[in-house]
Amino acid sequence: SSDLTQDPAVSVALGQTVRITCQGDSLRTYYASWCRQKPGQAPVLVLFGKNKRPSGIPDRFSGTTSGDTASLTITGAQAEDEADYYCTSRDSSGNHHVVFGGGTKLTVL
């Protein structure tokens, strides 16, 4: 089980917009970060804090939070965006522990 809940799979047509969500009580207090992982590779951070992108991440990636739900939006999805996406944040117990969502497999059609 996870303190952060994600849909297992989402699909999007090439060039369209897709939103991947992450729900959890701790998101009312802490921002989510988002990592992308392609098969056989280490994860890569794509979003953190209040809608901040690390260097090298294209601006088609954006994030929002509303209540207990954080969202990662990809505007104009590309074939190379097909991957597993994980949200992460502190857990809801206030002990500074970290938790990951179960991950969302994004398929670009």
Q: Residue numbers of the site for other proteins (CB under 8 A)?
A: 2, 33, 35, 37, 42-45, 48, 54, 84, 86, 88, 95-103
By beta-carbon proximity to other proteins, the closer residue of 23 and 88 is 88
Q: Cβ-count burial of 44 within 10 angstroms (0-12 exposed, 13-18 middle, 19+ buried)?
A: middle
CB of 37: closest distance to other proteins in angstroms? 8
CB of 65: closest distance to other proteins in angstroms? 17
- Scored b (16 or more CB within 10 A) or e, 52-82 reads ebeeebeeebebebeebebbbbbeebeeebb
By beta-carbon proximity to other proteins, the closer residue of 35 and 72 is 35
By beta-carbon proximity to other proteins, the closer residue of 38 and 76 is 38
CB of 108: closest distance to other proteins in angstroms? 20
